[in-house]
């Protein structure tokens, strides 16, 4: 069934396979009047571009975006924005071997069961390259949010057993190390850990954290369209994500109410604020004016060259080593993907909230 469209009001429809002609996205529901050019998109795509360092797939792609519609005289028109990236270096020959068996940890088996066959070149639609469309759309969403002062801090919190130390948190570091960690020491340790994985032909998992600043209170709709619920879906729709947490997350389940509740206080001007932020920015699924704190766990890259047990499409037992050009870690390149999905979800919630009250409706149409 149709599953490549996300969002209710700000809608994205992604398409494309790892080794097809191109990959892209149609963004529908972007308000008119947003200044937007290819460079805005390219900056985001460059953050997920492969081949940039030792821990990323050696496949080199320029991933140059083209905007085909929805922009006139440098501004969005309110009509669908179609964007695409042509695949340049698809080396399908690499993949012909995997046509015949199911790679452990990949979607080969489930696609075959579901559809009867699959585009086996590089994972086809289940490839990480599918996220190109998400990131291009995320660039648009982030530009909308930026115009409202809403900003992101997104980074890798841990890789395998190596976790950042909150004491050493340094936002500037994120773009300065290839692992996108806000802690130079941890980044160094993680690099060492990853080198070990790589030389073993193995791979590592990791955790990405995303903080959203200056989000207005009131976003999200009871009861199924909670902001937190939609963020959970957005994040868990990214390939390889196995856990989602908001605020204290899993730790909240071990806490007592007196530890977990965030008290309220008010400023001299009568502005209400929370004294702590265990909730991670939502109460009852609706944004509460604090920072949004999201944490998602990625499993290790399933493609490893260590021998693994599997079966052929005919059911024969096989031992395989997966070749090809793969990242030993998904989390680092996924930081911008997570940020994009969060941004898309938040834009949708911003729009949805605009008609929550009769007075807003009257204001809008009676002035």
Please report whether residue 85 would count as binding its own copies according to CB under 8 A.
Answer: no
For the chain, the straight-line distance linking the first and the last C-alpha, in angstroms and rounded, comes to: 44
Binding-site residue total for its own copies (CB under 8 A)?
171
C-alpha torsion angle, residues 277, 342, 283, 259 (rounded to 10) = -30
Please report whether residue 184 would count as binding its own copies according to CB under 8 A.
Answer: no
Q: Which of 74, 93, 116, 167 binds its own copies (CB under 8 A)?
A: 116
Q: Which of residues 42-61 bind its own copies (CB under 8 A)?
A: none
Burial group, residue 23, by CB count within 10 angstroms (0-12, 13-18, 19+)? buried
Q: Per-residue contact track with its own copies, 129 to 158, x per CB under 8 A?
A: -x-------------x--xx---------x
Q: Which of 151, 168, 255, 321 binds its own copies (CB under 8 A)?
A: 255
Q: Which of 43, 54, 58, 66 binds its own copies (CB under 8 A)?
A: 66
Q: Which of 302, 332, 337, 338 binds its own copies (CB under 8 A)?
A: 302
| CB count in 10 Å sphere of residue 29 | 17
Q: Which is nearer to its own copies, 118 or 333 (CB)?
A: 118
Q: Which of 38, 52, 60, 105 binds its own copies (CB under 8 A)?
A: 105
Q: Which is nearer to its own copies, 32 or 37 (CB)?
A: 32
Please report whether residue 175 would count as binding its own copies according to CB under 8 A.
Answer: no
Please report whether residue 28 would count as binding its own copies according to CB under 8 A.
Answer: yes
Residues 289, 279 contacting (CB under 8 angstroms):
no
DSSP H or E run through 82: strand 81-86
For the four alpha carbons of 64, 344, 149 and 364, in that order, the dihedral sign comes to positive
Of the candidates 6, 127, 135, 47, the residue with the CA atom closest to the CA atom of residue 83: 135
Nearby residues of 24 by Cβ (< 8 Å), 6 or more positions away: 14, 15, 16, 82, 83, 84, 85, 132, 133, 136
Q: Which of 59, 129, 226, 333 binds its own copies (CB under 8 A)?
A: 226
Please report whether residue 243 would count as binding its own copies according to CB under 8 A.
Answer: yes
Please report whether residue 195 would count as binding its own copies according to CB under 8 A.
Answer: no
Rounded Cα gap, residues 38 and 257, in angstroms: 49
Q: Which of 188, 218, 291, 324 binds its own copies (CB under 8 A)?
A: 218
Rounded Cα gap, residues 216 and 148, in angstroms: 10
| Shortest separation between residue 168's beta carbon and its own copies, angstroms | 20
| Shortest separation between residue 329's beta carbon and its own copies, angstroms | 10
């Amino acid at each position: 069934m149709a599953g490549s469209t996300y969002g209710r009001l700000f809608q994205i429809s992604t398409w494309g396979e790892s080794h097809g002609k191109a990959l892209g996205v149609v963004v529908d529901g972007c308000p008119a009047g947003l200044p937007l050019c290819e460079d805005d998109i390219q900056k985001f795509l460059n953050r997920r571009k492969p081949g940039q360092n030792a821990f990323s797939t050696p496949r080199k792609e320029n991933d140059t975006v083209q905007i085909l519609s929805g922009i006139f005289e440098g501004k969005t028109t309110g009509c669908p924005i179609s964007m695409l990236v042509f695949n340049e270096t698809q080396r399908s020959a690499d993949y012909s071997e995997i046509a015949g068996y199911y790679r452990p940890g990949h979607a080969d088996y489930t696609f075959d069961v579901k559809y009867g066959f699959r585009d086996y070149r590089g994972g086809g639609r289940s490839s990480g390259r599918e996220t190109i469309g998400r990131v291009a759309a995320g660039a648009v969403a982030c530009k909308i949010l930026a115009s409202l002062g809403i900003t992101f801090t997104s980074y890798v919190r841990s890789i395998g057993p190596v976790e950042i130390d909150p004491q050493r948190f340094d936002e500037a570091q994120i773009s300065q190390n290839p692992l996108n960690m806000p802690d130079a020491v941890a980044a160094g340790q993680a690099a060492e850990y990853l080198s070990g994985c790589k030389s073993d032909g193995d791979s590592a998992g990791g955790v990405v954290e995303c903080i959203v600043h200056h989000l207005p209170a009131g976003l999200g709709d009871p009861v199924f369209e909670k902001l937190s619920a939609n963020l959970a879906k957005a994040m868990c729709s990214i390939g390889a994500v196995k856990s989602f947490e908001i605020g204290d997350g899993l730790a909240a389940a071990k806490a007592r109410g007196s530890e977990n509740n965030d008290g309220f206080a008010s400023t001299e001007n009568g502005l209400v604020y929370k004294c702590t932020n265990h909730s991670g920015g939502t109460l009852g699924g609706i944004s509460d004016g604090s920072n949004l704190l999201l944490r998602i766990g990625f499993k290790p890259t399933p493609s490893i060259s260590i021998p693994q047990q599997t079966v052929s499409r005919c059911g024969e037992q096989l031992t395989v080593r997966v070749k090809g050009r793969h990242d030993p870690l998904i989390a680092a390149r996924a930081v911008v993907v997570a940020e994009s999905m969060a941004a898309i979800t938040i834009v949708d919630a911003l729009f949805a909230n605009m008609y929550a009250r009769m007075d807003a409706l009257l204001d809008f149409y009676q002035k």
